[in-house]
Amino acid sequence: MMDPYRYLPFLSRKVMRAWAEREKPPPRESWTAMAKPLSRSRVALISSAGIAMRGDEPFDQQGECDDPWWGDPTWRALPLEVSETDVVIQHLHIDTRPAEQDLNVVLPLRRLEELASENVIGDVSPRHFSIMGYILDATTLTEVTAPQLAGALTDDEVDLVVLVPV
């Protein structure tokens, strides 16, 4: 079994362990069965790396510097063609350089295209999404951002979403 805290610095390990032990799963279980086989499913990705297109408003790092208890709870859309040269990655809790070198590290769209060409999946959604994962108060995330993402994914007729943490 993996040690889930292996790569965390001391302080993060302590905090995350405490959160995991304290958190109680909601009584209601979310579940939607896959409607189609994978080979006919349209797949979309959501990354929590804080990725925004150049020209879009980047995730608000200054806000978090001003108030460390706050993290930007908004979301951004990313077209399928996006690559590392097209984006600004704003996330103060990770080393963003590997993702800036190769966006597939956090948003493996080229790999998804390869799997589509091999008929492992049906096709790749034209649109993918990012949030920024450091959010201590999840109110806006769950009440505004997530429903908007769900709406966008429904509009795009997505059959399966892969959520990718950092």
Site for other proteins in 91-120 (CB under 8 A): 91-99, 101-102, 104-106, 108, 110-112, 114-115, 120
* CB nearer other proteins, residue 79 or residue 148: 148
Which one, of 93, 89, 62, 63, lies nearest residue 78 by Cα? 89
> Which residues, at least 6 apart from 20, have a Cβ–Cβ distance to it below 8 Å?
none
The residue behind tokens 């920024």 is 132
Q: CA–CA distance from 149 to each of 28, 75, 109, 114, 158 (Å)? A: 21, 8, 18, 25, 11
The string of DSSP letters for 132-150 reads BS--S--HHIIIIIHHHHH
Q: How far is the CB of 130 from other proteins (least distance, A)?
A: 11
Which one, of 95, 98, 123, lies nearest residue 109 by Cα? 123
Site for other proteins in 1-20 (CB under 8 A): 1-9, 11, 14-20
Instruction: Answer yes or no whether residue 74 interacts with other proteins by CB under 8 A.
Output: yes
Site for other proteins in 136-155 (CB under 8 A): 136-138, 140-142, 144-154
Instruction: Answer yes or no whether residue 85 interacts with other proteins by CB under 8 A.
Output: no
* CB nearer other proteins, residue 79 or residue 101: 101
| Near other proteins by CB under 8 A: residue from 123, 126, 127, 160 | 160
Instruction: Answer yes or no whether residue 65 interacts with other proteins by CB under 8 A.
Output: yes
